[in-house]
Structure 1
Amino acid sequence: MSDRASPAAGLDDLVAAHRILVREGVLDAFGHVSLRDPQEPDSFWLASALPPSVVGRRDMIRFGIDGEPREQVDLPLFAERFIHSAIYAARPDVQSICHHHAPSILPFCLSDTPLVAVSQTGAFIGERAPIWDSAREFGPTRMVVDTPAQAASLAGALGGQSLVLMRGHGATVAGRSVKDVVFKSIYACRDADFQRAALAMGPVTPLSAGEIALGRTPGDPALERCWIHWNAVAGPEGGGPGHKDKKEGQEP
Protein backbone atom coordinates (compact mmCIF):
# COMPACT_ATOMS: atom_id res chain seq x y z
CA MET A 1 0.00 0.00 0.00
CA SER A 2 1.09 3.58 -0.59
CA ASP A 3 1.86 5.69 2.49
CA ARG A 4 -0.42 8.48 1.25
CA ALA A 5 -2.45 9.73 4.23
CA SER A 6 -1.39 6.74 6.32
CA PRO A 7 -0.75 7.27 10.07
CA ALA A 8 2.76 5.80 10.06
CA ALA A 9 3.29 5.30 13.80
CA GLY A 10 -0.26 4.03 14.22
CA LEU A 11 0.19 1.42 11.51
CA ASP A 12 3.42 0.24 13.11
CA ASP A 13 1.54 -0.23 16.40
CA LEU A 14 -1.25 -2.00 14.54
CA VAL A 15 1.20 -4.48 13.03
CA ALA A 16 2.77 -5.01 16.46
CA ALA A 17 -0.70 -5.62 17.93
CA HIS A 18 -1.20 -8.62 15.63
CA ARG A 19 2.17 -10.08 16.63
CA ILE A 20 1.52 -9.54 20.35
CA LEU A 21 -2.00 -10.96 20.32
CA VAL A 22 -0.81 -14.09 18.50
CA ARG A 23 1.99 -14.52 21.05
CA GLU A 24 -0.48 -14.08 23.93
CA GLY A 25 -2.91 -16.67 22.54
CA VAL A 26 -5.73 -14.26 21.70
CA LEU A 27 -5.43 -14.58 17.91
CA ASP A 28 -4.47 -17.65 15.92
CA ALA A 29 -5.14 -18.20 12.21
CA PHE A 30 -8.32 -16.17 12.68
CA GLY A 31 -9.16 -12.77 14.11
CA HIS A 32 -8.31 -9.19 13.19
CA VAL A 33 -7.42 -5.79 14.66
CA SER A 34 -8.14 -2.35 13.19
CA LEU A 35 -7.26 1.30 13.78
CA ARG A 36 -9.39 4.37 13.12
CA ASP A 37 -7.43 6.80 10.94
CA PRO A 38 -6.52 9.73 13.22
CA GLN A 39 -6.41 12.07 10.21
CA GLU A 40 -9.72 10.91 8.71
CA PRO A 41 -12.05 9.67 11.48
CA ASP A 42 -14.53 8.25 8.96
CA SER A 43 -11.84 5.83 7.75
CA PHE A 44 -10.07 2.91 9.39
CA TRP A 45 -7.17 0.57 8.66
CA LEU A 46 -7.55 -3.20 8.58
CA ALA A 47 -5.26 -5.84 7.10
CA SER A 48 -6.18 -7.94 4.12
CA ALA A 49 -7.52 -11.41 4.92
CA LEU A 50 -4.29 -13.00 6.13
CA PRO A 51 -3.36 -14.96 9.25
CA PRO A 52 -2.50 -12.39 11.94
CA SER A 53 0.94 -13.97 12.39
CA VAL A 54 2.12 -12.72 8.96
CA VAL A 55 0.47 -9.30 8.80
CA GLY A 56 2.79 -6.44 7.87
CA ARG A 57 2.31 -2.76 7.19
CA ARG A 58 2.16 -3.42 3.45
CA ASP A 59 -0.98 -5.51 4.02
CA MET A 60 -3.00 -2.66 5.57
CA ILE A 61 -6.02 -1.37 3.66
CA ARG A 62 -7.89 1.87 4.35
CA PHE A 63 -11.65 1.40 4.58
CA GLY A 64 -14.54 3.83 4.72
CA ILE A 65 -17.13 3.83 7.45
CA ASP A 66 -19.30 1.72 5.10
CA GLY A 67 -16.77 -1.11 5.33
CA GLU A 68 -15.59 -0.80 1.74
CA PRO A 69 -12.00 -0.02 0.64
CA ARG A 70 -11.26 3.64 0.00
CA GLU A 71 -9.01 2.72 -2.92
CA GLN A 72 -9.24 -0.15 -5.37
CA VAL A 73 -7.25 -3.12 -4.07
CA ASP A 74 -6.49 -6.55 -5.46
CA LEU A 75 -6.31 -8.26 -2.07
CA PRO A 76 -8.70 -10.60 -0.24
CA LEU A 77 -10.91 -8.78 2.28
CA PHE A 78 -12.27 -9.98 5.60
CA ALA A 79 -15.99 -10.72 5.38
CA GLU A 80 -16.26 -9.48 8.97
CA ARG A 81 -14.83 -6.03 8.25
CA PHE A 82 -18.35 -4.72 8.88
CA ILE A 83 -17.85 -5.41 12.59
CA HIS A 84 -15.26 -2.65 12.57
CA SER A 85 -17.17 -0.20 10.37
CA ALA A 86 -20.38 -0.51 12.41
CA ILE A 87 -18.67 0.05 15.76
CA TYR A 88 -16.66 3.03 14.47
CA ALA A 89 -19.89 4.52 13.11
CA ALA A 90 -21.72 4.02 16.41
CA ARG A 91 -18.87 4.92 18.78
CA PRO A 92 -16.82 8.07 18.00
CA ASP A 93 -14.76 7.38 21.13
CA VAL A 94 -13.47 4.04 19.81
CA GLN A 95 -10.11 4.21 18.04
CA SER A 96 -9.22 0.51 17.75
CA ILE A 97 -11.12 -2.79 17.58
CA CYS A 98 -10.14 -6.44 17.95
CA HIS A 99 -12.30 -9.41 17.00
CA HIS A 100 -11.07 -12.80 18.20
CA HIS A 101 -12.04 -16.38 19.11
CA ALA A 102 -9.73 -16.91 22.07
CA PRO A 103 -10.17 -20.30 23.83
CA SER A 104 -10.25 -18.51 27.20
CA ILE A 105 -13.38 -16.59 26.17
CA LEU A 106 -15.31 -19.23 24.23
CA PRO A 107 -16.73 -21.11 27.26
CA PHE A 108 -18.60 -17.92 28.21
CA CYS A 109 -19.99 -17.73 24.67
CA LEU A 110 -21.34 -21.29 24.96
CA SER A 111 -22.95 -21.30 28.39
CA ASP A 112 -25.24 -19.31 30.68
CA THR A 113 -22.34 -18.39 32.98
CA PRO A 114 -21.75 -14.64 32.65
CA LEU A 115 -18.28 -13.18 32.24
CA VAL A 116 -17.79 -10.70 35.08
CA ALA A 117 -14.91 -8.57 36.33
CA VAL A 118 -13.03 -10.49 39.01
CA SER A 119 -9.64 -8.78 39.13
CA GLN A 120 -8.04 -5.34 39.05
CA THR A 121 -6.92 -5.66 35.42
CA GLY A 122 -10.35 -6.89 34.34
CA ALA A 123 -12.41 -4.04 35.81
CA PHE A 124 -13.19 -2.70 32.32
CA ILE A 125 -15.39 -5.79 31.73
CA GLY A 126 -17.95 -4.26 34.05
CA GLU A 127 -20.53 -6.05 36.14
CA ARG A 128 -21.37 -8.42 33.27
CA ALA A 129 -20.13 -8.65 29.69
CA PRO A 130 -23.05 -8.38 27.23
CA ILE A 131 -23.58 -11.32 24.88
CA TRP A 132 -24.94 -11.00 21.36
CA ASP A 133 -26.87 -13.87 19.80
CA SER A 134 -27.21 -13.54 16.03
CA ALA A 135 -30.09 -16.03 15.95
CA ARG A 136 -32.40 -13.76 17.93
CA GLU A 137 -32.54 -11.27 15.08
CA PHE A 138 -31.36 -13.14 12.02
CA GLY A 139 -32.23 -16.80 12.59
CA PRO A 140 -29.71 -19.45 11.46
CA THR A 141 -26.55 -17.89 10.02
CA ARG A 142 -23.03 -19.01 9.11
CA MET A 143 -22.02 -17.65 12.55
CA VAL A 144 -20.03 -15.00 10.70
CA VAL A 145 -20.89 -11.29 10.93
CA ASP A 146 -20.69 -10.58 7.21
CA THR A 147 -23.48 -8.05 6.63
CA PRO A 148 -23.85 -4.41 7.71
CA ALA A 149 -27.17 -5.25 9.38
CA GLN A 150 -25.65 -7.97 11.56
CA ALA A 151 -22.71 -5.74 12.42
CA ALA A 152 -25.01 -2.86 13.41
CA SER A 153 -26.90 -5.23 15.70
CA LEU A 154 -23.62 -6.33 17.28
CA ALA A 155 -22.58 -2.70 17.80
CA GLY A 156 -25.91 -2.11 19.52
CA ALA A 157 -25.26 -5.01 21.89
CA LEU A 158 -21.82 -3.62 22.67
CA GLY A 159 -23.38 -0.28 23.56
CA GLY A 160 -20.96 1.82 25.58
CA GLN A 161 -18.99 -1.19 26.85
CA SER A 162 -15.47 -2.31 25.98
CA LEU A 163 -16.32 -5.95 25.30
CA VAL A 164 -19.18 -7.90 23.77
CA LEU A 165 -19.34 -11.70 23.62
CA MET A 166 -20.86 -13.44 20.62
CA ARG A 167 -22.76 -16.69 21.14
CA GLY A 168 -20.88 -19.62 19.66
CA HIS A 169 -18.39 -17.30 18.02
CA GLY A 170 -15.99 -15.23 20.12
CA ALA A 171 -15.61 -11.65 21.28
CA THR A 172 -15.21 -8.12 19.99
CA VAL A 173 -13.22 -5.57 21.98
CA ALA A 174 -13.28 -1.78 21.60
CA GLY A 175 -10.54 0.53 22.85
CA ARG A 176 -9.42 4.13 22.88
CA SER A 177 -6.12 3.19 21.19
CA VAL A 178 -4.31 0.18 19.76
CA LYS A 179 -2.46 -0.27 23.07
CA ASP A 180 -5.74 -0.04 24.98
CA VAL A 181 -7.50 -2.65 22.80
CA VAL A 182 -4.53 -5.02 23.12
CA PHE A 183 -4.59 -4.61 26.91
CA LYS A 184 -8.33 -5.26 27.07
CA SER A 185 -8.18 -8.23 24.69
CA ILE A 186 -5.47 -9.90 26.74
CA TYR A 187 -6.81 -9.13 30.19
CA ALA A 188 -10.39 -10.12 29.36
CA CYS A 189 -8.94 -13.55 28.57
CA ARG A 190 -6.99 -13.50 31.84
CA ASP A 191 -10.13 -12.66 33.83
CA ALA A 192 -11.99 -15.42 32.01
CA ASP A 193 -9.25 -17.88 33.02
CA PHE A 194 -9.30 -16.64 36.62
CA GLN A 195 -13.07 -16.95 36.79
CA ARG A 196 -13.17 -20.48 35.39
CA ALA A 197 -10.42 -21.58 37.79
CA ALA A 198 -12.19 -20.00 40.76
CA LEU A 199 -15.55 -21.53 39.82
CA ALA A 200 -13.94 -24.96 40.18
CA MET A 201 -13.13 -24.04 43.79
CA GLY A 202 -16.52 -22.57 44.71
CA PRO A 203 -18.56 -19.39 44.32
CA VAL A 204 -16.82 -16.41 42.70
CA THR A 205 -16.80 -12.95 44.24
CA PRO A 206 -16.87 -10.38 41.42
CA LEU A 207 -15.70 -6.82 41.77
CA SER A 208 -18.24 -4.44 43.27
CA ALA A 209 -19.76 -1.59 41.29
CA GLY A 210 -17.54 0.83 43.18
CA GLU A 211 -14.40 -1.16 42.46
CA ILE A 212 -15.33 -1.37 38.78
CA ALA A 213 -15.92 2.39 38.60
CA LEU A 214 -12.52 3.14 40.16
CA GLY A 215 -10.55 0.69 38.02
CA ARG A 216 -12.49 0.59 34.74
CA THR A 217 -9.98 2.52 32.58
CA PRO A 218 -6.33 1.41 32.58
CA GLY A 219 -4.03 4.43 32.82
CA ASP A 220 -1.53 5.35 30.11
CA PRO A 221 1.52 4.46 32.28
CA ALA A 222 0.11 0.95 32.80
CA LEU A 223 -0.61 0.58 29.10
CA GLU A 224 2.90 1.70 28.20
CA ARG A 225 4.49 -0.70 30.70
CA CYS A 226 2.48 -3.59 29.26
CA TRP A 227 3.27 -2.53 25.68
CA ILE A 228 7.01 -2.53 26.39
CA HIS A 229 6.77 -5.97 27.99
CA TRP A 230 4.66 -7.51 25.22
CA ASN A 231 6.94 -6.18 22.49
CA ALA A 232 10.00 -7.53 24.31
CA VAL A 233 8.41 -10.98 24.66
CA ALA A 234 6.92 -11.15 21.16
CA GLY A 235 10.06 -9.88 19.43
CA PRO A 236 10.50 -7.09 16.89
CA GLU A 237 9.53 -8.94 13.73
CA GLY A 238 6.24 -10.46 12.62
CA GLY A 239 5.41 -12.77 9.75
CA GLY A 240 6.98 -15.90 8.39
CA PRO A 241 9.90 -15.99 5.95
CA GLY A 242 7.70 -17.19 3.09
CA HIS A 243 5.41 -14.20 3.45
CA LYS A 244 8.32 -11.75 3.65
CA ASP A 245 9.99 -13.24 0.58
CA LYS A 246 6.76 -13.04 -1.38
CA LYS A 247 6.32 -9.36 -0.54
CA GLU A 248 9.92 -8.26 -0.94
CA GLY A 249 10.34 -5.27 -3.23
CA GLN A 250 6.77 -4.03 -2.83
CA GLU A 251 5.89 -0.66 -1.34
CA PRO A 252 5.60 -0.70 2.51
Structure 2
Amino acid sequence: MIAANLTQLFMTFINGLHILDYNKVLDAYGHLSVRNPNNAATFFMSRNEAPALVTSPSDIVEYYVANASAVEPSPPSGFIERYIHSEIYKRFSGINAVVHSHSSAMIPYSISGVPLKPSIHLAGFLGEVVPVFDISQYYHDNDTQDLLVRTIPLGAALASKFSAGNSTESLPDHLVVLMQSHGFTTCSTDIETVVFQAIYSQTDAEVKSDALVIQHAFLDSNSNHHEGLVYLTQKQATDSWATDKGTIQRPWDLWVREVKVSPLYVNTLDP
Protein backbone atom coordinates (compact mmCIF):
# COMPACT_ATOMS: atom_id res chain seq x y z
CA MET A 1 0.00 0.00 0.00
CA ILE A 2 1.37 3.40 -1.02
CA ALA A 3 1.36 5.96 1.78
CA ALA A 4 -1.03 8.83 1.24
CA ASN A 5 0.38 12.33 0.83
CA LEU A 6 -0.33 14.00 4.16
CA THR A 7 0.67 17.41 2.81
CA GLN A 8 -2.22 17.26 0.33
CA LEU A 9 -4.55 15.95 3.04
CA PHE A 10 -3.62 18.75 5.43
CA MET A 11 -4.08 21.37 2.71
CA THR A 12 -7.59 20.03 2.06
CA PHE A 13 -8.25 19.83 5.80
CA ILE A 14 -7.28 23.47 6.39
CA ASN A 15 -9.33 24.57 3.40
CA GLY A 16 -12.26 22.62 4.83
CA LEU A 17 -12.03 24.47 8.15
CA HIS A 18 -11.91 27.82 6.38
CA ILE A 19 -14.85 26.93 4.12
CA LEU A 20 -16.97 25.91 7.10
CA ASP A 21 -16.17 29.21 8.80
CA TYR A 22 -16.86 31.22 5.62
CA ASN A 23 -20.28 29.56 5.32
CA LYS A 24 -20.99 30.17 9.02
CA VAL A 25 -21.30 26.48 9.85
CA LEU A 26 -18.41 26.95 12.30
CA ASP A 27 -17.35 30.08 14.13
CA ALA A 28 -14.99 30.28 17.11
CA TYR A 29 -16.43 26.89 18.09
CA GLY A 30 -16.89 23.59 16.30
CA HIS A 31 -14.45 21.33 14.53
CA LEU A 32 -13.56 19.13 11.59
CA SER A 33 -11.53 15.92 11.76
CA VAL A 34 -10.11 13.42 9.26
CA ARG A 35 -8.96 9.84 9.71
CA ASN A 36 -5.28 9.16 8.99
CA PRO A 37 -5.24 7.44 5.57
CA ASN A 38 -1.92 5.80 6.47
CA ASN A 39 -3.09 4.49 9.84
CA ALA A 40 -6.81 3.94 10.43
CA ALA A 41 -6.15 3.81 14.18
CA THR A 42 -5.46 7.55 14.35
CA PHE A 43 -7.13 10.75 13.20
CA PHE A 44 -6.28 14.44 12.85
CA MET A 45 -7.92 17.55 14.30
CA SER A 46 -6.74 21.11 14.66
CA ARG A 47 -5.47 22.30 18.01
CA ASN A 48 -7.87 24.18 20.29
CA GLU A 49 -8.22 27.23 18.08
CA ALA A 50 -10.94 28.93 16.03
CA PRO A 51 -11.17 27.11 12.67
CA ALA A 52 -10.60 30.30 10.67
CA LEU A 53 -7.21 30.76 12.34
CA VAL A 54 -5.75 27.33 11.52
CA THR A 55 -2.99 27.93 8.99
CA SER A 56 -0.40 25.12 8.89
CA PRO A 57 0.44 21.52 9.85
CA SER A 58 1.81 22.84 13.15
CA ASP A 59 -1.82 23.55 14.09
CA ILE A 60 -2.85 19.92 13.55
CA VAL A 61 -2.84 17.22 16.25
CA GLU A 62 -2.93 13.44 15.75
CA TYR A 63 -5.10 11.35 18.11
CA TYR A 64 -5.71 7.66 18.69
CA VAL A 65 -9.16 6.42 17.70
CA ALA A 66 -9.16 4.03 20.66
CA ASN A 67 -9.31 6.68 23.38
CA ALA A 68 -8.87 10.14 21.79
CA SER A 69 -5.48 10.57 23.45
CA ALA A 70 -2.78 12.45 21.56
CA VAL A 71 -0.12 10.45 19.73
CA GLU A 72 2.61 12.93 20.68
CA PRO A 73 3.45 13.01 24.41
CA SER A 74 3.22 16.81 24.69
CA PRO A 75 0.67 17.93 22.11
CA PRO A 76 -0.81 21.41 21.71
CA SER A 77 -4.04 21.94 23.63
CA GLY A 78 -6.87 19.95 22.03
CA PHE A 79 -10.65 20.13 21.90
CA ILE A 80 -12.63 18.71 24.81
CA GLU A 81 -15.11 17.14 22.39
CA ARG A 82 -12.63 15.10 20.38
CA TYR A 83 -14.56 12.03 21.67
CA ILE A 84 -17.30 12.89 19.18
CA HIS A 85 -14.82 12.11 16.45
CA SER A 86 -12.94 9.18 17.97
CA GLU A 87 -16.10 7.23 18.78
CA ILE A 88 -17.60 7.72 15.32
CA TYR A 89 -14.36 6.48 13.75
CA LYS A 90 -14.32 3.58 16.19
CA ARG A 91 -17.87 2.50 15.35
CA PHE A 92 -17.79 3.02 11.56
CA SER A 93 -14.70 1.83 9.72
CA GLY A 94 -15.81 3.46 6.45
CA ILE A 95 -16.09 6.94 7.92
CA ASN A 96 -13.07 9.17 7.33
CA ALA A 97 -14.26 12.71 8.12
CA VAL A 98 -16.49 14.31 10.78
CA VAL A 99 -17.85 17.82 11.37
CA HIS A 100 -19.35 19.07 14.63
CA SER A 101 -21.16 22.43 14.54
CA HIS A 102 -23.19 24.69 16.82
CA SER A 103 -25.21 26.06 13.89
CA SER A 104 -28.00 28.35 15.12
CA ALA A 105 -30.10 27.31 12.12
CA MET A 106 -29.99 23.66 13.19
CA ILE A 107 -30.45 23.92 16.97
CA PRO A 108 -34.19 24.79 16.83
CA TYR A 109 -34.84 21.35 15.31
CA SER A 110 -33.11 19.74 18.29
CA ILE A 111 -35.34 21.39 20.91
CA SER A 112 -38.73 22.05 19.29
CA GLY A 113 -39.97 18.57 18.44
CA VAL A 114 -40.23 19.71 14.80
CA PRO A 115 -38.36 17.13 12.71
CA LEU A 116 -35.66 18.15 10.26
CA LYS A 117 -36.33 16.58 6.86
CA PRO A 118 -34.94 17.15 3.37
CA SER A 119 -36.79 20.14 1.93
CA ILE A 120 -34.32 20.75 -0.93
CA HIS A 121 -32.74 18.34 -3.36
CA LEU A 122 -29.22 19.24 -2.20
CA ALA A 123 -30.04 17.79 1.24
CA GLY A 124 -31.21 14.35 0.15
CA PHE A 125 -28.52 12.84 2.38
CA LEU A 126 -30.70 13.72 5.40
CA GLY A 127 -32.98 10.80 4.55
CA GLU A 128 -36.34 10.15 6.18
CA VAL A 129 -35.17 10.65 9.77
CA VAL A 130 -32.59 12.91 11.38
CA PRO A 131 -32.09 11.53 14.92
CA VAL A 132 -31.81 13.81 17.95
CA PHE A 133 -29.20 13.01 20.60
CA ASP A 134 -30.25 13.98 24.14
CA ILE A 135 -27.07 13.82 26.19
CA SER A 136 -28.98 14.18 29.47
CA GLN A 137 -30.11 10.57 29.14
CA TYR A 138 -26.51 9.43 29.57
CA TYR A 139 -25.33 11.51 32.53
CA HIS A 140 -24.36 10.05 35.88
CA ASP A 141 -24.97 11.98 39.08
CA ASN A 142 -21.48 13.47 39.39
CA ASP A 143 -20.95 14.22 35.70
CA THR A 144 -20.27 17.73 34.45
CA GLN A 145 -23.55 18.50 32.70
CA ASP A 146 -22.42 21.19 30.26
CA LEU A 147 -23.78 19.32 27.19
CA LEU A 148 -20.23 18.70 25.92
CA VAL A 149 -19.25 15.24 24.72
CA ARG A 150 -16.21 15.02 26.99
CA THR A 151 -15.85 11.25 27.63
CA ILE A 152 -15.65 7.97 25.73
CA PRO A 153 -19.10 6.78 26.95
CA LEU A 154 -20.76 10.02 25.85
CA GLY A 155 -19.02 9.85 22.48
CA ALA A 156 -20.12 6.23 22.06
CA ALA A 157 -23.70 7.18 22.92
CA LEU A 158 -23.67 9.88 20.23
CA ALA A 159 -22.08 7.53 17.67
CA SER A 160 -24.84 4.99 18.32
CA LYS A 161 -27.45 7.51 17.12
CA PHE A 162 -25.98 7.31 13.61
CA SER A 163 -27.03 3.67 13.36
CA ALA A 164 -30.19 1.63 13.68
CA GLY A 165 -28.06 -1.36 14.67
CA ASN A 166 -26.17 -2.24 17.82
CA SER A 167 -22.73 -3.29 16.57
CA THR A 168 -19.72 -1.94 14.76
CA GLU A 169 -20.44 -1.32 11.09
CA SER A 170 -18.70 0.10 8.04
CA LEU A 171 -21.07 2.97 7.29
CA PRO A 172 -23.87 4.57 9.33
CA ASP A 173 -27.58 4.55 8.56
CA HIS A 174 -27.76 8.31 9.21
CA LEU A 175 -25.26 10.92 8.04
CA VAL A 176 -26.48 13.71 10.33
CA VAL A 177 -27.46 13.68 14.01
CA LEU A 178 -28.90 16.69 15.83
CA MET A 179 -27.66 17.31 19.37
CA GLN A 180 -30.27 18.72 21.74
CA SER A 181 -29.58 22.35 22.76
CA HIS A 182 -26.08 21.98 21.29
CA GLY A 183 -25.81 21.63 17.51
CA PHE A 184 -25.25 18.77 15.10
CA THR A 185 -22.66 16.30 13.87
CA THR A 186 -22.26 14.88 10.38
CA CYS A 187 -19.87 12.24 9.04
CA SER A 188 -18.78 10.91 5.65
CA THR A 189 -16.07 9.19 3.68
CA ASP A 190 -13.96 12.27 2.89
CA ILE A 191 -13.46 15.93 3.76
CA GLU A 192 -15.11 17.39 0.67
CA THR A 193 -18.29 15.35 1.16
CA VAL A 194 -18.62 16.00 4.88
CA VAL A 195 -18.19 19.74 4.30
CA PHE A 196 -20.91 19.59 1.64
CA GLN A 197 -23.20 17.78 4.07
CA ALA A 198 -22.55 20.29 6.85
CA ILE A 199 -23.26 23.29 4.63
CA TYR A 200 -26.39 21.91 3.02
CA SER A 201 -27.75 20.57 6.32
CA GLN A 202 -27.68 24.15 7.52
CA THR A 203 -29.17 25.44 4.27
CA ASP A 204 -32.00 22.91 4.49
CA ALA A 205 -32.77 24.02 8.06
CA GLU A 206 -32.83 27.66 6.97
CA VAL A 207 -35.17 26.90 4.06
CA LYS A 208 -37.52 24.89 6.27
CA SER A 209 -37.60 27.59 8.94
CA ASP A 210 -38.47 30.21 6.31
CA ALA A 211 -41.18 27.92 4.92
CA LEU A 212 -42.68 27.44 8.38
CA VAL A 213 -42.85 31.21 8.91
CA ILE A 214 -44.54 31.74 5.54
CA GLN A 215 -46.90 28.83 6.12
CA HIS A 216 -48.04 30.04 9.53
CA ALA A 217 -48.54 33.59 8.24
CA PHE A 218 -50.65 32.21 5.40
CA LEU A 219 -52.66 29.92 7.69
CA ASP A 220 -53.42 32.83 10.01
CA SER A 221 -55.10 34.63 7.12
CA ASN A 222 -56.64 31.51 5.52
CA SER A 223 -58.18 29.51 8.33
CA ASN A 224 -59.60 26.91 5.97
CA HIS A 225 -56.19 26.05 4.49
CA HIS A 226 -54.51 23.13 6.23
CA GLU A 227 -51.81 21.86 3.86
CA GLY A 228 -48.47 20.94 5.43
CA LEU A 229 -44.94 21.45 4.18
CA VAL A 230 -43.72 19.44 1.22
CA TYR A 231 -40.64 17.24 1.74
CA LEU A 232 -38.63 15.02 -0.57
CA THR A 233 -39.96 11.49 -0.80
CA GLN A 234 -37.54 8.74 0.19
CA LYS A 235 -36.81 7.96 -3.46
CA GLN A 236 -36.34 11.64 -4.29
CA ALA A 237 -33.94 11.98 -1.36
CA THR A 238 -32.00 8.84 -2.33
CA ASP A 239 -31.82 9.73 -6.02
CA SER A 240 -30.92 13.36 -5.33
CA TRP A 241 -28.04 12.32 -3.07
CA ALA A 242 -26.81 9.82 -5.67
CA THR A 243 -26.68 12.67 -8.21
CA ASP A 244 -25.25 15.28 -5.85
CA LYS A 245 -22.35 13.06 -4.77
CA GLY A 246 -21.06 13.20 -8.34
CA THR A 247 -21.00 17.01 -8.38
CA ILE A 248 -19.31 17.87 -5.06
CA GLN A 249 -16.08 18.99 -6.74
CA ARG A 250 -17.97 21.91 -8.32
CA PRO A 251 -18.96 23.70 -5.09
CA TRP A 252 -15.69 22.62 -3.45
CA ASP A 253 -13.64 24.44 -6.11
CA LEU A 254 -15.79 27.56 -5.62
CA TRP A 255 -15.50 27.42 -1.84
CA VAL A 256 -11.71 26.99 -1.98
CA ARG A 257 -11.45 30.04 -4.23
CA GLU A 258 -13.65 32.09 -1.89
CA VAL A 259 -11.47 31.43 1.13
CA LYS A 260 -8.25 31.73 -0.84
CA VAL A 261 -8.98 35.32 -1.86
CA SER A 262 -10.11 36.36 1.63
CA PRO A 263 -7.38 37.92 3.80
CA LEU A 264 -8.88 36.26 6.89
CA TYR A 265 -7.86 32.76 5.83
CA VAL A 266 -4.24 31.64 5.55
CA ASN A 267 -3.28 28.17 4.34
CA THR A 268 0.49 27.82 4.08
CA LEU A 269 0.11 24.58 2.09
CA ASP A 270 -2.10 26.04 -0.63
CA PRO A 271 0.06 27.36 -3.51
TM-score if structure 2 supplies the norm length?
0.83
Find the aligned partners of 2:117 and 2:158 in 1 and give their Cα distance: 19
Within the alignment, does 1:147 sit opposite 2:174 as a pair?
A: no
> Aligned AA for 1:207?
L
User: Which residue of 2 is the match for residue 167 of structure 1?
Assistant: 180
> Equivalent of 1:192, from 205, 225, 237?
205
Q: Give the 3 Å change call, closer, same or farther, for CA 5–152 of structure 1 in structure 2.
A: same
Contiguous gaps of at least 5 residues in structure 1: none
- Cα shift at 1:175: 1.2
Runs of 4 or more, structure 1, over 6 Å off, are: none
> Aligned AA for 1:73?
S
- Cα shift at 1:201: 2.3
How many residues are aligned here?
240
> Equivalent of 1:214, from 230, 235, 239?
239
Within the alignment, does 1:58 sit opposite 2:71 as a pair?
A: no
Find the aligned partners of 1:238 and 1:81 in 2 and give their Cα distance: 29
**CA RMSD, aligned part only?**
2.1
Within the alignment, does 1:9 sit opposite 2:34 as a pair?
A: no
User: Which residue of 2 is the match for residue 91 of structure 1?
Assistant: 92
Bigger shift: residues 112-121 or 137-146: 137-146
Contact 1:54 1:238 (8 Å CA) reproduced: no
Q: Give the 3 Å change call, closer, same or farther, for CA 171–88 of structure 1 in structure 2.
A: same
Within the alignment, does 1:26 sit opposite 2:56 as a pair?
A: no
Contact 2:176 2:184 (8 Å CA) reproduced: yes
User: Which residue of 1 is the match for residue 253 of structure 2?
Assistant: 228
User: Which residue of 2 is the match for residue 156 of structure 1?
Assistant: 160
User: Which residue of 1 is the match for residue 192 of structure 2?
Assistant: 179
Contact 1:117 1:128 (8 Å CA) reproduced: no
Q: Give the 3 Å change call, closer, same or farther, for CA 35–156 of structure 1 in structure 2.
A: same
TM-score if structure 1 supplies the norm length?
0.89
Find the aligned partners of 2:74 and 2:265 in 1 and give their Cα distance: 23
Find the aligned partners of 2:243 and 2:64 in 1 and give their Cα distance: 29
Within the alignment, does 1:67 sit opposite 2:71 as a pair?
A: no
